[in-house]
Structure formats: structure tokens, C-alpha cells
Structure 1
């Protein structure tokens, strides 16, 4: 086994689809894209989905990124105090060539603010000399400008409200005899007003000053919320996209509003520009799912072509050669379009280059194949993924207003338990096969399969057994006084007629189907149980995880736990990290005939993914994976034990390589 990292991050599925400007083409390398998801910055290849590099350094969810015009620098900003208590809303500046952090900038963090602060906007100046950033505060928002030569703060100012965009103008060479410092123009929008900020060096104070000047608007009738902005025509025209779906044009030399061009009824959310043979070409990402191409100048603009995508177009970025356009949508699809025709030019058929969930992911399950797994999100979407190509094979959304809480990928199909109380089964092509209506009054929380039965637990505390062929109720046990967290069928051939369950009432219950009654009860004073698995060893012990961060081993012949693992340290407790454990999964057999279960995969509310060696117990996990920026809800092993897939509240799907199974 490799001592350094038995668990290694291999791939991240998706990008931050619900945020604008979440993905960029690299300015000089046409095949390279830069994006973020969770707490990682990802440098990937458009032509090879398997090629990804990760920039580690953030402790919280990344909220924005920017790539410098030369492509030498990447800046990424995060939120604070979500996963790690007392963490700061910091900005990290990375060297693209070495993939290393060169600056950590903390000036946007507001320690006096009672609520959370996050970095809202980042933008590099045209010569890479300065980086501008702003936070998300509704009152007194900070606007910071840093010098990229040494990472020092050049200027900080307070703005009336959150800046909805930051866009640099051209650099103005100094003409003063007393100063060799160039002047910079930075544009931003505070509410319905657009400002030009002059950044210049004051020789009297020997400091940089930032002077705001409002651009003039019509006296009435133009109150807009701005989403994005680009400079065209050299340094003359500023183009902005508004919530009303218009392209607003400002002349930055005369500082006046010039035109308002209707583009979309759903808002103009993103812009990309290209210098064409006959003038600027503007690519518009619209809230109604359309990508439109506009040409023109000043007051005269015309729509040349358009294309329809699935979801609001949140991000647009042109490749270095101008031939391709990256388009990220609110539905989690990342498409690559031909910039001249707006047709999808990469991916399989009309499928997007990449897909992701856009809501917290609740559950995941592997089947018998190493190539496929299924995931379910809080918005009701269930997806069947092909792991070898990181693509979606099947997309399900059976009913709005409910979502899957548990999933099984079985030979009979995709079996799922739902918050509306239904148990559903779909074929792998998405076709509905059967369902059990109103299986539980307050929603299904867990399901398990045996050759003859479907076993389910619900929020109503009931444990029910259904005939797999007729879907009729066979037996019911109301032993729990709270929601059932997990159910499983005993894996011993001698005790295959026993069903085990654990719940939020802090009890573990075993019922015997032959005797039709409860035969074993385990109870604790602290810590509601969140999940349970059963070992394949001779004694077939049960393992439970709970809200106190403990893993307990139970023997049916013993009233108390026979062994306990503590998954948190004193340092974690001092930092105030969440102790709760959400899910566990046992590794499959390393070889045919082996009992399996040598390694235990633990999904933590703190955002960690822990691996414990059960064959050689110790006081600490053998590996800890950190990639999620929020709770890890579930994780599962591939059938060969060589890969792990984890899902979380941050909408991320992480694929890990594991080097422990069979390596000894």
C-alpha cells in the first residue's frame, strides 16, 4: 500500500453551474479550460475529459475565479465559515505554469461582520499588473485593488452596495513628469449606477487612490440590475448585460449612455467578445437558454444568429483562437459551440461536454459494474453516470417537489426511495418499471433488497417488507420512535430472515421474519444513528455511525457496543468542526471468496472523506480526502474496490483512486 496517499483524487464531475463566470478558456492555450467546483480550482482539457489538475489551498467553497489576460495568473476567491469555523473570505493567486500559490489575500474578509462574507468578483487588469476584487456585502461593500508584483494592497474603498461586475478599461500611459505610474480605468456597477474608477498614483501621499465617477444615464426610465460587462472598440464602448435582457452601451470617453438593445426576455447573464473582420462580435448568454451573436457598433446592433441550450446561460468564454465558445448553463451542462455556427462541436452527439448536478446531492450507489453509478439530488434529478467517460447515460426527474433519499443500482433496475413516500424502479434507459405508492407516510429514508423482498424504512419510524414481484405489503414493524436511518438484510445465510435497522431514536433493532417480532435491541444515550453496515466476518457484527462522530460495533449477543472508533480529534473540537457522520460504506472483497470489509469509508459532515483500516485498527484513519466544500452526504466503492465516488451538499461528485485493496 502506498504510504503517502491511499486515497487520491482522480476527477471532479461538473463545475459551479449556479454561479456566473464559473468556467474560462485559457487566453493562450486553446485546449485548456479553467473552472472551479467545491473548494478546488480545476485546470482541464476540452479534448480529453480525463485530464484534470487540481489547485488545492481553499478551505471553503470557491465563489469566483479570474484568469489574467496573459494566462500567467489565476485568482480564486472563497466564502467563509461554512465548512471550517472562523475561516476567512480569502483570495488566492496562482501561478499557472507552476500550479503553485503565490499570494494569499485576506483584505476582503470582514471579521466584524456578523454574517458570512464571500468574495463576489475578481478581475485582472489588461497588463496583469493589478487584481481587483469585491465582496458580497449589501451595505458598505469592499472594493480592493492589489499589486501583482508583490501582492500588496494598492487601494481599498467602501462602495454603497455590492458590485455586480468588474471590468477593466485600457491602460493609460503616464504623461506626467512627476510620475512614471500608469493610470488605470476600472468599471463597476453598484445597484442601478455604473461607475468608472480611476486608479492612479498620488505623488503627494505616495499612495494609490481610486476615484469613482458615475456614467451618465437617461433622466428617467432606465433603472436596471447589471450582470456582466465587456469592453469593445478599443477603450471606447462598455457593453453591459442587464436583468431585463438588454445590452446597454456606454461611451466611456464622453461618460454617457448610448443605447439599450433588447436581446432576451430572461435577462442577459453573460458576454464574450471577439474582434471580427468588420467590427466587434458579441456573444450573449441569455436567461431563456439562448446564445445570440450580435454585430454592430455604438447605437446600431443586429442579431446575426442564435442557438438554444438547456438552461440559463450563466457563463461564456471564447477559446484563444476564437473558434470555440464555452457555454455553461444553470442546468449543469457545459457545452462547446462552434463560434461561427453556434453548433455543438465537442461531446458525444448533441450531449454536452460535461454535466453536473445543480442541487445538493443526497445519495449515490454502484451496481455490479465498475463503469456505472447512480446519483440523486435534492431537486429530484436522478442520473446514471458512465464512469469511463464521465458522461450521463440516463437522466430521471419523476416528480417535482420530492427527491430520492436512497438508491440501489440492481439487476432489476434503479430502485429508489423518495421523500413523497414512494418506492420507484426505473430501467437503466430511464423507463419507469413499477412503483409502490405511499410506502411511508412521511417519506422513505432507506431501502434494501433481498431475492424476494424490498425492505424499506421511513420517517414515520416504520419498517416495512414488500413482495418484490407483486409489490404488496408482507410485514410491518413499528419499533422505532423516530425516523429510520438505515435498513439492511442480514448477510449471513443462517440469519437471512433477519432485518436490521437503526434510527434517530438512538436504537438499533433486529427483527426476525420467522418469529415476526423484534429479537434484539441496542440503545445509546447520546448520538442519533445516521447509517449502518454489516461486516462479512464470522460474527457478522453491525457498524453504526452517529451524530457524535462515533463508529460503534455491535454484536447481537452483547447489549453494549463491543468496539468504538472516534473520527474527530481534539484539534477539530477546538476549531468547532461538525462531528456528525452521514454515511458509511464497506470495501468489497479483495479477491473472490474473501469476506470483504477490510476498509470503511466514512462520509463526514465536516466535508472530509475518511478511510479506516478495520483489519488493522488504529486511532486514526489511514487516509483523509478533502475536496468537498460542504457536507459529504454519501460515498461508495466501485465493485473492484479500486475507485471511490463521493457526493455532497456542494453539488460535487468526486472520483477517487484507492490503492489499499489488494496492495498488501
Structure 2
């Protein structure tokens, strides 16, 4: 499946670990009942429920912000965010072909919400706060029919749109005051005409709307934690509840079941089944972080729930128990480490946690959580018996990889947080770097540790540490524009290389006579280890820093990733790109090549972990 990118073949994306749980109603079940549809970065993922097989829809240039699926299942629509002053694309996908059917470009900066009309005739799109307009598109002609400001007054911010279930000419919008409206399409005059809904003295900000199957009423979930029921024909408020116990942190999502009872997800993570008559809770489950999606499969015997913690759950209607089916990081992945000598296990770290994964199954094996702290860097010790990790509270923590048990804590390891870490091959020492620029060498003893030396030459954060295979030297890369090679037996600096950049990463070539570095100057530079001279400089990226570099065990290839969101595989001797990987929606934070030389892993600032295959 090699798609040419300026003549360079593309890497094959094998698996994605991740789900953007911050997109409201981003998790959907396709009407074929066989696939989940959800966003991650600038990719829309189709995942087969039966066996977890993934397919990817590529076409967006920035993070996907909303998703809708047509009633027939023929089309998926997805909108994205863009930079201020630029237009944000809506893509309509042909589901059967898995191809782009149309690209629609009118909204500024962000597409807030999308909805298909019941017979696949029209798509309604809502622009974000900087745009504020509603546009109706003809799906057959791929053209805009008409548009209108979503709100009657400029202060109103519309958050969501929902189509009628029976009429292609009727849809509903809602958000802050003045945006709760029923719209009618007047096709001959190419206009959409709004009717304000009357909620009397009740002033609410609506986060979500659900239209009854027979179009008799609409339900509006509010930031205040209650649900308003409004007659769709008259636009009048007919009910509001629950009266006593409102939903904490607001109602994020509502779905109406065939029975008329409701599924409700709140901002505090409660997921409830409640009565259609008085909104009274019948069953309730507490999930991790706010519920943002509820997707009903078929007639509603089974449903899927997505949360802000980037987790997906499966529920059966009968027992209403949460089965966790997918987990992923919900904040930037800071680092990735591979177990020494094998190609099976790897670990990632982010805010609050370290997670262990198996390369073949995108399923979390272990999670180690340290509340309210961020893990900046991690490494496996060569014997595989421990994970060493660097934290922003200035501590080094050592964990057992099987159980996650905390084996050792080094307090006050660095004054401004521990920012980089590496372990020696003999598993007896750790080298750490800090935000203040110091490099420290620690000796590990049974159940304790000893500081051997502090080396103070860097003037800024130490970003990366690599130790030579004989355990006698190491190299440190820093944001001060220097990489220093240290003798870690005598604790002196042997060599310094300097460049006009903030270094992000450094690697020894496997033969250890050369280093390669990268950083904010977008260059990949080869250096001679003995005299510190620059041997070669490559233009690593057209835009943005290069944050991750890793060399294959045979030294023939290396992989880079950075702020341009591209994974690039390079031929070391030729200095040319052999493959490019396009799928990340956030800046790439780290890249690793596994020892089989055919599998790559890249991580990014949006919490994604991607597995790639290189055709050797």
C-alpha cells in the first residue's frame, strides 16, 4: 500500500493505540453494527468490533473535531480544527470505498458539529466560536445550499446541531443563550429559517441535543446538570429534570433507547440509565473522567461509551456493567522505551503514568500511576528487571515491570525536575539529567542508592542521555546548544559539540564512533565522537523541531519524528529519506525502531501511539 509522497514510499501504519475522548459524540457505531468509528489526531479510525482490526481514513491536515455517520451508513463526515485565519475542512467519506467523497471548505478555524439529514440528502455543518455560522450542504452536488449565523446575537455561541429523524428540511441547533432553535430549510429560496425555542424563565447553556425517533420532542443536556424536554413542533418547554439530584459537571451526552428510557453521560463520569417520565435514575455506573460519547449498537442491547480519559467501555443493556475494551494516554506521551534485546514489550510515559504494552496487541498490560506528577523520561534496565523513570517532582522512581511495584525512590535527584534518564548495561548505575542542567551518576545497591558524582557544565535542561555499551562513557544533549561526552568512571568531560540549536535528542551509532543529534534547528547532524567535529548535516524537516531520533541495531537506518508530524526513515550512509509515515495529528515526541528492524513505534503530543511497518 505504498502511496507516493514526493516520490518517497509511505510507511504502512499497522496499529494505533489512542482515541480522542475530548471530541463530543466522537465514538460512533456504524449502522452495519460491525465497526466502531472514532477520531485520533488527524485520522478517522474504523475498528472492527469482532477482532479489533483497524482501518484508517487519512485526509485531514489537523485534529479531527467532530464526526457524524449517515443513517444509511453510506457516508461518514468529519470536521477539523485549523489555525486562526485559515479555513477548516469538512470531509465526507464514502464508507464502502473508504475514500474521500467530498471536501467542503467554508468554516473558519474550526468545525464544531456535523449532522446528516435522515435520507442522506443534506449535511449541516456548524462552525466554531470564531466562525459562528451554520451551513447546509447538498451531498449529491457537493455544494453549499445556504448558510446563516447560528445565533440571533453575537454573544451567543452555538455548540451542537442535530437533524430531524423524519424530515430532511428540519434540524435543531443549541448552545449558549439565543442558539436553541429549530431550523427549516426553504430550498426554492435557498434559505434556512430559524424558530426560537421558548424555555420561559429557564436560562441554560445546552451541551448536547437528542431528537426523539418520531420527532415529537427534543432533549437538551445542560451545563447545569439537568435535561430540558422541548416540543419540536411548538418549540415550547414541556419538562425539565431531574429535580433533586442534578448531574455533576453537566450533561455531556444523551441517547434515547427504543423503550424511551435515556442513557445519560455526565462531565463527572457518571453513566446512567434513566426513566423517560421523570428523568429518575434507574441504573448508574461511575467511569473514569467525563463521559463524552455514547454509541448504541443496533436496537440498543449493547452500547459503547467513550470518556475524557481516552477509554472505551462496552455495556450490555441487561446487566449494565462496564467492560473496559480500550485504553490509551489522554495527554502528551513524553517518551517511549523498548526492552533490551527483544521486540515484544515497550513502555510509554505521560502525565501521571507509565504504561506497558505488547507490540502485537494494542492492549495495555500494566499501568503505573503517580497522581499529579509527570513522567518525563524512562528506560528499561538491560536485565529487564526494572523500569527507571524521571519525574517532574525531582524524583527518580524505579518500578518492577511485571507488577508495577515501586522498588526504589531517589528523592531530590534534581532541583528543577528530572528530565532525562539512562541505565548502564551492568544494571549497577543510573545517569540522570535535570532541568537545572546537572548530570548525576547514581550507584544502585540492594535496597538503597548512592550519589557518585554531580557534573555541572550544561547551562540548561538536559533533554537526552545515552550510555556507551562499555558503561564507561555517556553523552548528554541539552537545550543550551551543547552535547557533552562524559567519562563516567573519572567523571570528567571528554568532548563537547556545540550548535545553534536547542538539542532534543542524541544517539550513538551502533559502532560508537559517531553520534547523531537533532533539535530545534530542524537539522540532523552526524558528529565524530573523538574530536567533536561535525561530519554531515541533513535537512531533517521543513517545519518545526525534530524531537525523536533512533538508530536501528545494524546501523543502516535511523528514524526521526518532530513538530511536522511526519515519521521519516533514513538510510544512514546515503543520508536520504527512504519512507515517510503520515498519520499523527500532534507533534511527534519520540520514535523507536525495534530490534527486528521492521517495526517502528512513534508517540505524539495528542496521546497517540502508532505502530508502523517498514518493508525491508
TM (norm. structure 1) is 0.86
Counterpart in the other structure of 1:145: 136
Could you say which residue in structure 1 is the equivalent of 2:414? 440
Q: Alignment partner for residue 272 of structure 1, among 255, 259, 262?
A: 255
Correspondent of 2:14 among 10, 14, 17: 10
Which position in structure 2 is the counterpart of 1:178? none
* Larger displacement relative to structure 2 (157-166 or 628-637): 157-166
Aligned pair partner of 1:394 in 366, 390, 407: 366
Residue 564 (structure 1) aligns with: 537
Deviations 1:567-593 (A, max 9, x none): 13xxx4xxxx32x111111113xxxxx
Structure 1 residue 166: Cα displacement: 0.6
Secondary structure of the 2:247 match is coil
How far off is 1:501 after superposition? 1.5
* TM-aligned CA deviation for residue 94 of structure 1: 0.5
CA change 1:627–1:6 in 2 (3 A) is closer
Equivalent residue for 2:76?
74
Q: Which residue of 2 aligns with 1:521?
A: 496
**Map 1:506-655 → 2, pairs under 5 A:** 506-524=481-499, 526-537=500-511, 540-568=513-541, 572=542, 577-578=543-544, 580-588=545-553, 596-615=554-573, 617-618=574-575, 620-655=576-611
Q: Secondary structure at the match of 2:22?
A: coil
1:574-628 Cα shifts (integer Å, max 9, x gaps)? xxx32x111111113xxxxxxx22111111111111111114x14x311111111
Per-residue CA deviation, residues 262-295 of structure 1 (Å, 9 max, x unaligned), is 252332111122222xxx1321112232221223
- Per-residue CA distance 1:334-373 (angstroms, 9 max, x = gap): 01100232124xxxxx5x1111111111111111343321
CA distance in 2, matches of 1:657, 1:233: 45
Alignment correspondent of 2:45: 42
2:482 touches 2:503 (CA, 8 Å); kept in 1?
yes
Name the structure 2 match of 1:177. none
* Distance (Å, rounded) in 1 between the aligned partners of 2:182 and 2:2: 55
Among candidates 12, 15, 22, match of residue 26 of structure 2 = 22
Q: Identify the residue that residue 176 of structure 1 maps to in structure 2.
A: none
In the TM superposition, what whole-angstrom CA distance separates every residue of 1:489-509 from its partner, at most 9, and x where no partner exists? 222x4xx42222221221221
In the alignment, the residues of structure 1 paired with residue 17 and residue 191 of structure 2 have an alpha-carbon distance, to the nearest angstrom, of: 43
Measured in 2, the distance between the counterparts of 1:90 and 1:514 equals 57
Q: Tell me what 1:459 maps to.
A: 435
The alpha-carbon deviation at position 455 of structure 1 amounts to 0.5
Q: How much does 1:144 deviate?
A: 0.7
Structure 2, unmatched stretches of 5+, are none
What SS does the corresponding residue of 1:565 show, helix, strand or coil? Answer: strand
Match of 2:161 among 142, 150, 166: 166
Residue-by-residue CA offset, 1:108-162 (whole Å, 9 max, x unaligned):
13xxxxxxx1111011111111101111125x61111101111110111113333
Q: Deviations over 1:452-480 (max 9, x none)?
A: 21011112111110002242100121011
TM-score when normalising by structure 2: 0.93
Query: How many correspondences in the alignment?
Result: 596
For 1:95, the equivalent position in structure 2 comes to 94
CA offset at residue 6 of structure 1?
6.5
Q: 1:230 to 1:501 in 2, by over 3 A?
A: same
**Per-residue deviation at 1:301?**
4.2
CA distance in 2, matches of 1:477, 1:285: 53
Measured at CA, do residues 321 and 235 of structure 1 come closer, stay the same or move farther in structure 2, by a change above 3 Å?
closer
Aligned to 2:239: 259
CA contact (8 A) 1:230 1:240 kept: yes
| CA contact 1:367–1:639 (8 Å) conserved in 2 | no
Q: Distance in 1 between matches of 2:349 and 2:367?
A: 10
Change (3 A) 1:170 1:518: closer
8 Å contact from structure 1 (residues 76, 91) kept in 2: yes
Output one character per residue of 1:298-317: Cα deviation in whole Å (capped at 9) or x when no partner: xx444332223222211001
Q: CA deviation at 1:217?
A: 1.2
- Cα distance change of structure 1 residues 87 and 415 upon mapping to structure 2, 3 Å threshold: farther
User: What is the aligned-residue RMSD (CA, Å)?
Assistant: 2.0
The 3 A distance-change label for structure 1 pair 598 and 199 is same
CA shift at 1:435, angstroms? 1.2
* Contact 2:65 2:79 (C-alpha < 8 Å) held by counterparts: yes
Q: 2:169 aligns with which of 181, 184, 188?
A: 184
547-556 or 36-45, larger mean C-alpha shift: 547-556
Alignment of 1:421-436 (within 5 A): 421-428=394-401, 429-436=403-410
Name the SS of the counterpart of 1:659 in structure 2. Answer: coil
2:117 pairs with 1:125: yes
2:276 counterpart SS class: strand
Report what 2:204 is aligned to: 224
- Which one of the candidate residues 60, 69, 83 is aligned to 2:62? 60
Q: Could you tell me whether the CA contact under 8 Å between 1:285 and 1:314 is conserved in 2?
A: yes
* Cα pair 1:360 1:648 within 8 Å, conserved: yes
Whole-Å separation in 1 of the counterparts to 2:14 and 2:27: 19
User: Does the 8 A contact of 1:30 with 1:321 survive in 2?
Assistant: no
Q: Contact (CA 8 Å) 1:75, 1:91: kept in 2 or not? A: yes
Q: Does the 8 A contact of 1:637 with 1:645 survive in 2?
A: yes
How much has 1:259 moved relative to structure 2? 0.8
The runs of 5 or more residues in structure 1 that have no matched partner are 110-116, 173-182, 345-349, 589-595
Q: CA deviation at 1:233?
A: 5.5
Of residues 345, 369, 372, the one that matches 1:372 is 345
